[in-house]
Amino acid sequence: MSNFNCGFKRRACEQGNVRAESRERRAADCCCCRGPTGAQGPAGSDGLNGRMGPTGPTGARGVTGATGAKGATGPKGTTGATGATGASCSEIKSSYAYVYNMGVQTVEQHSAVSFNQPPVLSRDIYFTPTSELTVTEAGVYSITIYALNNTANTTLALFMNNVEIDGSRFTAVNENAGLNGKFLLVINSRDLPAVLTVKNVDDEPAVIESGKLNSVVNASLLITKINE
Q: Parallel, antiparallel, or unpaired for β 170-172 and 179-187?
A: unpaired
Tell me what the pLDDT averaged over the chain comes to: 85
Selected residue with higher pLDDT from 49 and 162 = 162
Average pLDDT estimate for 77-102 = 81
Q: What percent of the chain has pLDDT over 90?
A: 50
Q: Distance (Å, rounded) from C-alpha 214 to C-alpha 104?
A: 8
Q: Distance (Å, rounded) from C-alpha 128 to C-alpha 31?
A: 152
Question: pLDDT value at position 18?
Answer: 45
Q: What percent of the chain has pLDDT over 70?
A: 80
Question: pLDDT value at position 25?
Answer: 53
- Cβ neighbours around 167 below 10 Å, total: 13
Question: pLDDT value at position 15?
Answer: 53
Are 101 and 215 in contact, with CB atoms under 8 Å apart? no
Sorting pLDDT into bands at 50, 70 and 90, what band is 173? Answer: confident
| Type and span of the H or E element at 3 | helix 3-15
Q: What is the DSSP string of 209-226?
A: --TTSTTSEEEEEEEEEE
Question: pLDDT value at position 198?
Answer: 98
Question: pLDDT value at position 150?
Answer: 87
Average pLDDT estimate for 167-172 = 96
